[in-house]
Amino acid sequence: MQWDELVEQPCSVARTLSVIGDRWTLLILRDCFMKVRRFDDFHARLGIGRPILADRLQKLVDNFVLTKMAYQTNPVRHEYRLTQKGLDLHPVIMSIVHWGDMHMAGKKGRPVLHRHTTCGHHFDPVLTCSVCSEALTAREVVVEPGPGAEPAVRAVAKSAKPRAAPAAKKAAQPVR
């Protein structure tokens, strides 16, 4: 499979990688979430070549992750702002940050902390179930074919031994 064919794959991971799957793009997105918006600021922070930076920014604009807005007219200069599609990448970036904090931070500790503005506390991102709000781990998730699955994926799923769903938690009984 060629890199430029990822967008055609019937896999959400592959399709996502076709947009954000290189190191410079991930670092650009990190900086976007840190309120960096201007080309020269990205260039100064990342030390990336100007043509590569321009290419990655344009790809994010073309894929509606960023929008390009003029902030100056003479000469025309633009800044890059996250769209809703871009903001929806926040959990992805936070998960990468958390993994880095846990496994790559070194003896000095985390390079940055994240504070929840509502409660005022520093936090670690936690993946939760959208239905029951319980925290999730990899061992508690089963992958099943969705409506867009290819026939080969459906065949593998049928041949796999199904795991029983855990019994629903009993509702707390009032104390009498």
- What is the per-residue pLDDT across 130-152, written as a single tens digit (0 to 9) for each? 999 999 999 999 988 888 888 77
Q: What is the mean pLDDT of the chain?
A: 88
* Rounded percentage of the chain residues whose pLDDT exceeds 70: 86
Predicted pLDDT of residue 152: 73
Contact yes or no for 94/114 (Cβ under 8 A): yes
Architecture of domain 3-88: Orthogonal Bundle (1.10)
165 vs 126: CA distance, rounded Å: 22
The domain locations on the chain are 3-88
Predicted pLDDT of residue 170: 47
- Predicted structure pTM score: 0.81
